[in-house]
Amino acid sequence: LTECGFIGCLLHPFTASAAMAEEEGQEVIFTENTAPDREIWDEKGGLIKKGAAEIAERDQDHVPEVKVLTTLGMFAVPVTAETTIGEIRQKVQEWKPEYSLEQIELVCKDKDAWGPLFNKTSRPRDDDETVESLWSDWDIPRRMMQVALWIKEKNEETGEWESTFWKMLEESKCDDWSFQGHTI
């Protein structure tokens, strides 16, 4: 947990390397749908074509999952199109019971946002947002939706839980920095 309460990071799927986490002695959580990164991606993040047919063959029993990124590795939550962010938060709380449901905040990008829009549209998500509303390819094997886990902190004056994500943005802004098309 960093100073601003961040427990995860928004990474391109190719850079979320479980091997790095294992090397650093961190816990890595895999599901039955996960092939080791070294079987899928080369060092530069490119798809390894040799053996792709065998990998695709293993995906016949694909179960769509949302990957919750943390500094401890990834936590996978099986989902359907109708699964809500609130339901995913509940699964995270069961996995990390040391945090109350009120403290758990899940951050991700808007649907189909890539490149510069990836960071510009990333924000904490509402409990009623669904997987389908945030992820076009939710049911296609080898595609993934990632959310970052942020832990809210209690404001000592008000006693309310405050977003550490928004706090981090506020503390790191500069005069010509914009977020979601708005200057902060």
Q: How do residues 112-134 score in pLDDT, each as one tens digit?
A: 888 888 778 899 999 999 999 99
Order of strands, edge to edge, in the sheet holding 65-70?
A: 73-78, 65-70, 145-151, 104-108, 123-124
Please tell me whether residue 158 adopts helix, strand or coil conformation: coil
- 131's enclosing H/E stretch is helix 131-134
pLDDT confidence bin for 58, thresholds 50/70/90: low
Q: How do residues 64-82 score in pLDDT, each as one tens digit?
A: 888 887 776 788 999 999 9
Q: Which residue has the higher pLDDT, 90 or 168?
A: 90
Q: How do residues 137-151 score in pLDDT, each as one tens digit?
A: 777 776 778 899 999
Query: How does the average pLDDT of the chain come out, rounded?
Result: 74
Q: Which residue has the higher pLDDT, 162 or 1?
A: 162
